[in-house]
């Protein structure tokens, strides 16, 4: 077996069985009967192993969706929904691991072990946004739209939090949560609500500054 695959598998097993990552590279390599230099040729740190594990999940999922027959016909909103539903479906294989690793996290925390997960998601989200802009589904807003992928990432993490707390049969409440929040989010970025909010902030901010000085 390839060294990289061996490392990833052993690391995943360690997480699943002990609920925590290995303590040191040394101990991890010893249990694998692997030289440390072989480990470091593949990964820079223990965190980067875990990052690769979660990242591969997202990139595998998006690659599969993007090659689907109907993907090209879908609007941005439908693409994002399809991703989230595919994600919740696939999460059944990951749920125990997610409960260990995501549950203690605040939905806005950005730990090193989720680096690739976040990057892959944001890259995918940018593609969705550009698609939405090209079809006119999302209004073009210059610099402002650079934050959209970050906003979607926060939403995605909120979906994960909801999913991990969901106790309904077959997690149907999560489906409803996704449907409703995405409808709301796309209503907001389609209309002028964000522009109005910024305009209001610009209007209010100088006066606040004025009083304080």
Partner 1 sequence: MAALVGAGARVGMNYLKHYGRQAISGQADSDALQERNASEVFRAFSELKGGPLKLAQMLSIDQSLLPPAYAKQFARAQYSTPPLSYPLVVRTFRREFGKDPRDIFDTFEPQAAHAASIGQVHRATLRGRAFAVKVQYPGVAESLRSDLGVVKPIALQILGLRERDVAAYFKEVEARLLEETDYEKELHSAMELSTACAHLPQIRFPEYHPEFSSRRVITMDWMIGEPFDVFADGPALQDHRNRIGQALWDFYAYQIHHLRHFHADPHPGNFLINGDHLCVLDFGCTKTIGPDFYSKQFAFLDPTLETNPARLAAAMESMDILLPSDTPAQRNHLTELCKKSLELLALPFRMGQFDFDNPAFMKSIYELGEENQKNGTLRGIRGQRGSADTIYLNRTFFGLYSLLSRLRSCIKTPLPEGLTFK
Residues in touch with partner 1 (CB under 8 A)? 70, 74, 77-78, 81-82, 85, 89, 168-170, 172-173, 175-176, 178-179, 182-183
Least separation in angstroms between CB 69 and partner 1: 8
| C-beta closer to partner 1: residue 52 or 84 | 84
Distance in Å, CB of 83 to partner 1, minimum:
9
Give Cβ neighbours of residue 16 (< 8 Å, ≥ 6 apart).
96, 97, 100
Nearer to partner 1, 74 or 94 (CB): 74
Question: Whose structure tokens read 């690391």?
Answer: 11
Q: Based on CB atoms, which residue is closest to partner 1, 49 or 76?
A: 76
Q: What is the closest distance, in whole angstroms, from the C-beta atom of residue 186 to partner 1 in the complex?
A: 10
Q: Closer CB to partner 1, residue 137 or residue 175?
A: 175
List the structure tokens of 185: 């989010």
Q: How far is CA 180 from CA 77, 93, 117, in A?
A: 12, 25, 24
> CB 6 → partner 1: shortest distance, Å?
33
Closest to partner 1 by CB, 8 or 182: 182
Closest distance of CB 193 from partner 1, Å: 17
């Amino acid at each position: 077996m390839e060294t990289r695959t061996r490392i990833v598998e052993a690391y995943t097993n360690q997480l699943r069985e002990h609920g925590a990552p290995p303590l040191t590279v040394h101990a991890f390599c010893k249990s694998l009967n692997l030289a440390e230099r072989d480990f470091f040729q593949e990964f820079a740190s223990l965190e980067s192993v875990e990052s690769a594990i979660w990242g591969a999940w997202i990139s595998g999922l998006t690659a599969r969706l993007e090659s689907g027959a109907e993907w090209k016909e879908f609007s941005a909103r439908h693409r994002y929904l399809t991703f989230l539903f595919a994600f919740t479906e696939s999460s059944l294989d990951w749920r125990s691991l997610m409960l260990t690793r995501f549950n203690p996290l605040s939905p806005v925390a950005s730990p090193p072990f989720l680096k690739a997960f976040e990057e892959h998601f944001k890259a995918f989200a940018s593609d969705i946004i550009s698609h939405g802009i090209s079809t006119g589904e999302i209004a073009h807003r210059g610099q402002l739209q650079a934050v959209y992928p970050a906003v979607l990432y926060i939403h995605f993490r909120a979906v994960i939090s909801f999913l991990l707390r969901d106790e309904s049969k077959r997690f149907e409440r999560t489906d409803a949560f996704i449907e409703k929040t995405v409808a709301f989010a796309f209503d907001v970025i389609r209309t002028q609500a964000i522009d109005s909010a910024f305009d209001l902030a610009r209007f209010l901010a100088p006066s606040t500054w004025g009083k304080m000085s």
